[in-house]
């Protein structure tokens, strides 16, 4: 714990996930260091601030580069995961490592796509009392039409399904250690960090920035992984898809009922071949009941699913008989 820091300046840890980034790290690491130096130099943050690289079990020379950086300069530090777990888990590992060592973290990708200079504004908002500062893209000019369209549709669907999510905010954000402490009570395994932080609450702010092209190397988010993340996002925050099945089941039951009446009328009027009426009645009845039952069962599974997450049921961030926990008191 950094209790010795109570009267000093806040400690910042940058949390930077890296997976097979040997092409980009030598280019972006100096930029992170430059920003850190400027933040320290301007008196905003403590000299004890650090740049934490999280190696997501890269198969190339990434870990070697991180080790070399940490030997060169004490501001660079690194942790390495035992196997590749994906971007979200790498960010979580870094945040949990940093939680007790610093007053705030800023998570950012290592490829230089997110504007590193926006950190200054984020830290200023933290110093003004914000506990979470979301980095929001001011535009999507650098994206292809396809990416822009799918991203926008994704945010729209998620919002209409009831998830609290910020359009065009990915994982570039500042989070105070107090929020991280509360966040550590979110025990879910399928991570979709950008949807989880709004659930924590606390005072939040936004900083707008322009997103650039990757400095080098290739994206690790091909279409397949993007779809996976989108499905995780939707199913982790909403049981609406199950409700939709219930609604369809209900509608199918009504249609089935109408179908049955129609089949009986047709039979009475002798406009059918033998056996047709009973067939249609059975199909209509059963398909409606089946879908409806699926929905009902799904509703319970949805409840069980939400329960198994063991999310905290409340988070208290202030008490009248206690001083605010924020370690940094400026």
Residues near ligand UDP (CB under 6 A) = 17-19, 21, 56, 84, 86-87, 90, 109-111, 113, 219-221
3-state secondary structure of 231: helix
Looking at residues 85 to 114 of the shown chain, list those that interact with Mg ion (rule: CB under 5 A).
109, 111, 113
Answer yes or no: are the C-beta atoms of 165 and 198 closer than 8 Å: yes
Which of 97, 12, 16, 119 has its CA nearest to residue 58?
A: 16
From the list ligand UDP, Mg ion, none, pick the one residue 242 interacts with, judged by a Cβ distance below 5 to 8 Å according to partner type: none
In the complex with ligand UDP, which residue's Cβ is closer, 97 or 299? Answer: 97
Looking at residues 134 to 193 of the shown chain, list those that interact with Mg ion (rule: CB under 5 A).
none
CA-based radius of gyration for the chain: 26
Residue 45: φ, ψ to 5°: -130, 165
In the complex with Mg ion, which residue's Cβ is closer, 146 or 321? Answer: 146
DSSP 267-285: HHTT-S-TTHHHHHHHHHH
In the complex with ligand UDP, which residue's Cβ is closer, 54 or 180? Answer: 54
Answer yes or no: are the C-beta atoms of 175 and 104 closer than 8 Å: yes
Nearest-approach distance from CB 221 to ligand UDP, in angstroms: 4
Nearest-approach distance from CB 32 to ligand UDP, in angstroms: 12
In the complex with ligand UDP, which residue's Cβ is closer, 28 or 177? Answer: 28
In the complex with ligand UDP, which residue's Cβ is closer, 56 or 121? Answer: 56
Nearest-approach distance from CB 286 to Mg ion, in angstroms: 50
From the list ligand UDP, Mg ion, none, pick the one residue 276 interacts with, judged by a Cβ distance below 5 to 8 Å according to partner type: none
Q: Which helix (H) or strand (E) holds 176?
A: strand 169-176
From the list ligand UDP, Mg ion, none, pick the one residue 115 interacts with, judged by a Cβ distance below 5 to 8 Å according to partner type: none
3-state secondary structure of 205: strand
Nearest-approach distance from CB 111 to ligand UDP, in angstroms: 5
Nearest-approach distance from CB 112 to Mg ion, in angstroms: 8
Nearest-approach distance from CB 177 to Mg ion, in angstroms: 26
From the list ligand UDP, Mg ion, none, pick the one residue 194 interacts with, judged by a Cβ distance below 5 to 8 Å according to partner type: none
Nearest-approach distance from CB 3 to ligand UDP, in angstroms: 32
User: Do strands 50-55 and 132-137 pair parallel, antiparallel, or not at all (unpaired)?
Assistant: unpaired
From the list ligand UDP, Mg ion, none, pick the one residue 17 interacts with, judged by a Cβ distance below 5 to 8 Å according to partner type: ligand UDP
21 lies in the site for Mg ion, by CB under 5 A: no
In the complex with ligand UDP, which residue's Cβ is closer, 152 or 219? Answer: 219
> Which position's Cβ is nearest ligand UDP?
219
91 Ramachandran zone, left/alpha/beta (phi>0; psi -120 to 50): alpha
User: Do strands 132-137 and 204-209 pair parallel, antiparallel, or not at all (unpaired)?
Assistant: parallel
Q: Which residues, 6+ apart, have CB-to-CB distance to 133 below 8 Å? A: 122, 125, 126, 173, 174, 204, 205, 206, 207
CA angle 184, 219, 232 (to 5 degrees): 40
In the complex with Mg ion, which residue's Cβ is closer, 22 or 299? Answer: 22
Burial of 307 (0-12, 13-18, 19+ CB in 10 A): exposed
Answer yes or no: are the C-beta atoms of 26 and 66 closer than 8 Å: no
In the complex with Mg ion, which residue's Cβ is closer, 53 or 161? Answer: 53
Length of the chain: 330
Looking at residues 109 to 128 of the shown chain, list those that interact with Mg ion (rule: CB under 5 A).
109, 111, 113
Nearest-approach distance from CB 188 to ligand UDP, in angstroms: 19
How many beta carbons lie within 10 A of that of residue 248, not counting itself? Answer: 15
Q: Which residues bind Mg ion (CB under 5 A)?
A: 109, 111, 113
């Amino acid at each position: 714990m950094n209790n010795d820091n109570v009267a000093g300046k806040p400690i910042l840890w940058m949390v930077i996930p890296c997976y097979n980034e040997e092409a980009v790290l030598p280019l972006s690491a100096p930029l992170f260091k430059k920003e850190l130096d400027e933040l320290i130099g301007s008196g905003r943050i403590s000299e004890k601030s650090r740049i934490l690289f999280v190696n997501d079990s890269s198969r190339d020379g990434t870990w070697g580069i991180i080790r070399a950086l940490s030997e060169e300069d004490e501001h660079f530090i690194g942790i390495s995961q035992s196997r590749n777990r994906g971007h979200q888990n790498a960010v979580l590992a870094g945040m949990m490592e940093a939680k007790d060592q610093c007053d705030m973290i800023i998570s950012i990708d290592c490829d230089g796509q997110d504007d590193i200079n926006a950190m200054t504004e984020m830290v200023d908002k933290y110093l003004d009392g914000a506990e979470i500062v979301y980095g929001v893209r001011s535009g999507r000019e650098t994206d292809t039409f396809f990416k822009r369209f799918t991203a926008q549709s994704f945010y729209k669907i998620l919002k209409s399904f009831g998830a609290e999510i910020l359009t065009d905010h990915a994982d570039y954000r500042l989070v105070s250690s107090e929020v991280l402490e509360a966040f550590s009570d979110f025990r879910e395994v399928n991570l979709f960090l950008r949807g989880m932080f709004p659930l924590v609450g606390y005072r939040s702010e936004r900083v707008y920035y322009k997103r650039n092209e990757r400095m080098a190397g290739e994206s690790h988010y091909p279409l397949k992984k993007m779809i996976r993340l989108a499905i995780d996002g939707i199913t982790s925050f909403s049981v609406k898809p199950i409700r939709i099945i219930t609604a369809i089941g209900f509608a199918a039951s009504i249609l089935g009922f109408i179908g049955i009446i129609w089949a009986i009328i047709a039979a009475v009027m002798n406009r059918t071949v033998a056996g047709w009426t009973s067939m249609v009645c059975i199909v209509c009845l059963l398909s409606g009941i089946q879908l409806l039952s699926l929905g009902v069962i799904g509703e319970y599974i949805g409840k069980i699913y939400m329960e198994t997450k063991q999310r905290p049921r409340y988070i208290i961030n202030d008490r009248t008989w206690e001083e605010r926990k924020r370690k940094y008191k400026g």
